[in-house]
Structure formats: structure tokens, C-alpha cells
Amino acid sequence: MTKEQFNKDLQAVYLELQDRQSELNGFYELLKGEHAKAKQTIEAFLQLLELPYNDDTVMAALTRIVNLREDALEQVMQKEGFDEERIRLKKELAYGFVSMMHITRHESLIGWIEEQKLLTPFYRSLIFGVHFVGLRLSEWQSHWTHHIINTVNPELSRLFDGDDAKVFEMLQANALLDTTEDGCVGDRCYSVLVKDASTPSTSSGTEVVYKSVAYAEAFAKEVGAVVVALEQLIALLGQHEDEVFGQKQEWIAYFTALKEAFAHTKTDELIKMWAEVDRRWMAVTTPLQVGHPLEYYEDHYRKAVALEWDLRIVNPRLQEGSHTRENIKLFAYEMAQKFGEEALHTMSKNLLQVDQTQLYIGQPMLYYAAEFNGLFSAQVVPNDEQVSTELGKKIFAYADFVLESKKSKPVMKLSVEIMGEDFVKQQRALAENEPQLWHELYDISTIGHEYGHILWIDTDTETKMNATGQFKNIEEFKATTGGLMAFFRREKEMLKHHIIDDLVSRAVGLMAWREVGEVLPYYCEGLIHLDILFSSGIITYDEQIKIDYEKYDVMKAAYIEAYENLAKTYLDKIDANSYLSQYATKEAGVYLPVKEDIRTFVEHYYARYKEIGQQTVTLD
């Protein structure tokens, strides 16, 4: 098969995926009237969770099933008076329901590709094998969540009365974090804590009853099944040639490295083993890409890497549309010059990574395990900075997927109440009627966000800045504002209003996530944005958010100042809390704005979110 024919087949698969996703997004039509299939699915789901069938629970169920997000479901369970233990149990049942439903959809798609004999035997084998590995990882996911998120982390919090800084101090003092090849504490873990009564006491006298063991030891049965599935995938690929891209050996080397990393038991070698996975993965440059365990948002304390597994497909028609890379390079180099030689040294490495970064714009094709609890809209990886220094990164962006999801979602009553009907209508009209403009804004805000992650980072930056566990809680702000700074460097007059609207709606919307642990960094990002937006006068709140577009230049100056201070924090590798604490403070386990007027708004928004967060409205 020629590359041209392969691309035609790829486009056929892409369009089929879009049709199938459109059918799933169509479940939201249930809110407007009849949708027999959606109604049957939602009734079964709510019955399983012992929730009544009403407007709020239907919306929460749709959010969980269609968009794979748990937060709305958790909120309605709280409103129904479920205690924490019951919510945990029901969330687990919901995971089982949703995963089986989406796995059935994956199998239908795989069957369709086989029937149509699309792509090549090599890539059809790859798709089938990735699915089989995904099934095994999905079986493991519940055990991972139960052990780390629902058992060990609450115990650590209770042990130190909710003082995160003391938890981090104990983990470091007792060598309970994975280390890099040179013996330094790593920025993530591929291991878990298990009870060990022989562990010594901390300096404070609190007995620590944990030891660190690799995934392969803590979850021996589940990891064993994943390793067997990877071996079968490797054997399957061995039977065919990659006649189009000639990357058979790269794929096999990648899956072999994955198999070896999953099976490895020495905790002080895990980061090294997984860095090798990332190196092999960076060599795979085909339009079909696999996503493996890379991110670590869920585990607040040890950053245990989540069980991500998916197959991503590129849209050949969208690949050349992004101009953000050049804009990022221009502004970042100019700013680094202000800070002197050391900053230029760090930035030169970052800009080399930006140049080497592979950009894939497409959508998720198959997804499993942790991703049944939420798919990302874009991602920059690997997180291993040593590998990124050598080979750059990959950016994945799901522009089509996000746009169709936005268009299908109903209008939320809370958005209309807080932002005003005119604002909501304008945002809907933009997505519906101006897809080209929407894609341009997505490039600035979302792809810009992913490039923004790369800047001001050295190999040991995260480790040094994360002593109190706050690094991620400023990193998302750094990323979004990096994209914004690139826009400021080369502004388009016609986009200024849209950029403001995007920033304001993002910052306000993130306030709903304050009690959702794995997305806490985005909530904290929102708090910093709100401080800048309110303080610059570009937004005010009096029953509704009002935007004063005339204050654009004041807002721009405030963002530049905040970002320069942030860049200095990164260059000096100062603990992230020193930056976050200028904008937010933690009270009774919740981060809140430092400034009183902003706090009043945030508290009001969250109170309304708890009351009407799942209610929808119909606009004229």
C-alpha cells in the first residue's frame, strides 16, 4: 500500500470515528425530548447507582457516560445524601458501567475496520493488540484507584492532620519516593506504598508504616496480565511488515521496553526503565500513536503515574495549521534575554525541545483504564525532562473532538446566570458558525498551553520546586499564560475580544473543580487568572460578570508582570508555594483567593454550582 492510499484509509477511519462520536454526543438530545437509546442507557445507569431519575441526575449521568467526567456525578450523590464510603462504591460501579460501554464501542469500531480491510495488516494488528492490552489495564485500574487514592492517601492525610508539607517531608526523609539514575528524588513514581511495620519513626515521633514497592510487586496479577498482552502484541506485529512507514522495529522496540518496565521490581531503577520507554516511543512517528502511562495528576502525594492507555489518530487535514510554535520561540527568547546568561542557557535547551517537538492534531481512537475517568483535550509529553532534553516532546491536540463536544453539550443554567445570556450565545455561535476562527483560538490557547509547559524547565526544576507539593498547582497557569504571551508577541486585532472571552470563561469555569483532586492544578490556575482579571479591572462582578474590553492593555501588562515573576521563580527553582501563596491560601483543606472581593465571587459561584450545577436551560 502506498502512503497516499494509507492516508485515504486514515481519513475514512477518522470520519467514521467522528460519526460514531457524534452519535454518542447525540445522547444529550435526551435533555430536550425523546432519545430511546440514551433513555434506556441512563435509566440503567441511575438504577445501578440507586439515584433517582430527574433533571440533575440525568445531566450528571450524561456527563459521566459521554464526556467521561466524574465530578458532576459526585456532586449529585452528595446532594442525595450519600456518605463518602457509598460515593466511593458507586463511583466504582459507574467506572465498570462506563468502561464496558466504551469497550463495546471500541470493539465495534475495530470490527468495522477489519470488515473494510482498511490500513494495512500491520496496523490492523497494532489496533487489535493495543485493544487487548487496554482490556488488561482497565481491569487493573480499579485496584490502582482503591489502593492509592482511596486507601493510602487518606491514611497519609490523617496521619499528619491534613498537613501536606509534613507528608512530603516524611516521604523524603524515609526514602519513599522513586529516584533517578543518579540517586536524586524523581518527579514521579511507578511504585506504591504498602504497610510495613518495621519502617522507622519520623523525627516527629509519628510511626511510619510504609515501604515502597513497584507496580509489578504491588499488583502482581494485574501487571502479569498486562505483560502477557504486550508479549502477544509483539508476536502479532512480528508476523507482518510495516510496508508504509517502515517502523516495525521501532514499534516492537517500544512495546518491548514497555513490557520490561511494567515487569521491573527494583524501585530505584523504575524511572530509568520508563525513561527508556519514552526514548523508544519518541522514535515512533506514524499517524497512529499509542499513549502509555505518562501523567500523574491523580496521586497528590507521590505522583504515582496513572494507568493511561490509548490509541490516537491524526487528522491529515489539520496538521499544518498551527503557527504557535514560532510565536512561543520568539517571546520566550526575548524574555530570557532580560534575565541574563543563565536564563538564556536554560531557554536555549527549552527552545531546542520546542523545535524537536512532534505535533499530532487528531482525536482519541481507543482509550482505556484511567481515561475512562476523563480524556484530555491536549497533552505535551514525555514528562521525563532528561528524555525531552535529548529528543524533544510530542504534543497531541484533539481540536475536532473538543469542538464537537462543545457544540453537543446543553447550555448550563449556571453559565447563563454568571456570564449572562448574551455572552453564552456568542460563545455558542462561535463554535457553531465559525469553526475556522474557533480552531485559530484553540491553537493559541490549547496548543499554546502545551508548548507553554516546555519553557523555563531544567532537568531538576520540578523536583526542587515541589518540596511542599505545589509545583503542579502553578504549572498549569504557567502553561496557559505561555500561550497567551505568545499571542501578545504577535497580536491579531480581530482576536483580542475572543482571547479575553476565552480567558474569562476558562477562569470562571475552573471554579467548579475545587474539590476534584486530580484537576486541582487547573482550579488553582483559575484562581491566579481571576486575581489578574479582577485586579486589572477587565472583569467586575455584580450579579453577573461584566467585561470591560477597554482594559485590554491593563490586563496585558498585568499578565506580563505575573508571568515574568513566575519565570524568575522557575529559573531560581524556588518552592512553588511562594508563588501560589501570592494569589491563594489553603483553609480547611480548600484553596481560596487571598483577596476578599475575589473570594466573595468564588464562594458565591461554588455555592451556586452546588445548587444548580447540573441544571440546563434552552436559549431563544
How do residues 589-620 score in pLDDT, each as one tens digit? Answer: 899 999 999 999 999 999 999 999 999 998 87
Local structure of residue 571 (DSSP, 8 states): H
Per DSSP, the three-state class of 120 is coil
* Res. 204: pLDDT tops 60: no
**Distance (Å, whole) CA 487 – CA 141:** 39
Q: Give the DSSP letter of residue 581.
A: T
Say if residues 614 and 72 touch (Cβ distance below 8 Å): yes
Q: Which three cell numbers stand for residue 202?
A: 519520623
Question: In this predicted structure, what is the pLDDT of residue 22?
Answer: 96
Q: Average pLDDT over the chain, rounded to whole? A: 94
Name the residue type at position 141.
Q
| Main-chain phi, psi angles of 45, to 5 degrees | -65, -50
User: What's the CA gap between 291 and 281, in Å, rounded?
Assistant: 9
Mean pLDDT over 505-527 rounds to 94
Asked whether residue 319 carries a pLDDT value surpassing 70, the answer given is: no
pLDDT in tens, 475-506: 999 999 999 999 999 999 999 999 999 999 99
| Strand-pair category, 394-397 with 358-369 | parallel
Give burial (CB, 10 Å; 0-12/13-18/19+) of 539. buried
Task: Write down the pLDDT at residue 207.
Answer: 62
Which residues touch 449 (CB under 8 Å, ≥6 apart)?
A: 378, 479, 480, 482, 483
Burial of 18: CB neighbours in 10 Å, binned 0-12, 13-18, 19+: middle
Classified as helix, coil or strand, 318 is: coil
Q: Examine the pLDDT at 340 and tell me if it is beyond 60.
A: yes
Is residue 129 classed as helix, strand or coil in its secondary structure?
A: helix
201-204, long-range: CB < 8 A, 24+ apart: 202/169, 202/170, 202/173, 202/174, 203/173, 204/166
- Taking the CA atoms of residue 604, residue 578, residue 474 and residue 593 in that order, the dihedral angle to the nearest 10 degrees is 10
Q: How far apart are CA 85 and CA 4, in angstroms?
A: 54
- Reported as type and span, the H/E element at residue 396 is strand 394-397
Is 202's pLDDT higher than 60?
Answer: no
Of the candidate ranges 325-329, 515-519, 521-525, the one whose mean pLDDT is the lowest = 515-519
Cα(356)–Cα(479) distance, rounded to whole angstroms?
18
User: Using 50, 70 and 90 to split pLDDT, how confident is the model at 242?
Assistant: very high
Orientation of helix 520-535 relative to helix 471-489, angle to 10°: 50
Phi, then psi, of 226 in degrees rounded to 5: -65, -45
The model's pLDDT over 296-315, given as tens digits with 9 standing for 90+, comes to 888 989 999 999 999 999 98
Q: Are the beta carbons of 258 and 230 closer than 8 angstroms?
A: yes
Alpha carbon distances (Å) from 276 to 134, 217, 257, 356, 567: 21, 20, 7, 18, 30
> Does 374 score more than 80 pLDDT?
yes
Peptide bond into 593 cis (omega under 30): no
Residue in this structure with the C-alpha cell 470493539, named with its chain if needed: 107
Question: Which of 235, 275, 18 has the alpha carbon at shortest distance from 126?
Answer: 235
- Which pLDDT value is given to residue 320? 65
Q: Is the whole model's pTM more than 0.75, yes or no?
A: yes
Tell me what pLDDT residue 371 has. Answer: 96
3-class SS of residue 383: coil
Q: Are 540 and 508 in contact (CB under 8 A)?
A: no
* Gap between the Cα atoms of 388 and 378, Å rounded: 18
Q: What is the pLDDT of residue 383?
A: 85
Q: Where are the domains of the chain?
A: 1-119, 127-288, 402-617
Q: How large a percentage of the chain has pLDDT more than 90?
A: 89
How crowded is the C-beta side of 579, counted as CA atoms within 13 Å? Answer: 31
Retrieve residue 412's grid coordinates. Answer: 448550563
The DSSP code sequence of 201-227 is BPTTS-B--EEEEEHHHHTHHHHHHHH
pLDDT digits (tens, 9 = 90+) for 421-464: 999 999 999 999 999 999 999 999 999 999 999 999 998 999 99
Residue 199: pLDDT above 60?
Answer: no
Mean pLDDT value across residues 382-402: 92
Alpha helices, DSSP H, located in 145-241: 153-159, 164-173, 215-218, 220-238
Per residue in 46-100, pLDDT (tens digit) is 999 999 999 999 999 999 999 999 999 999 999 999 999 999 999 999 999 999 9
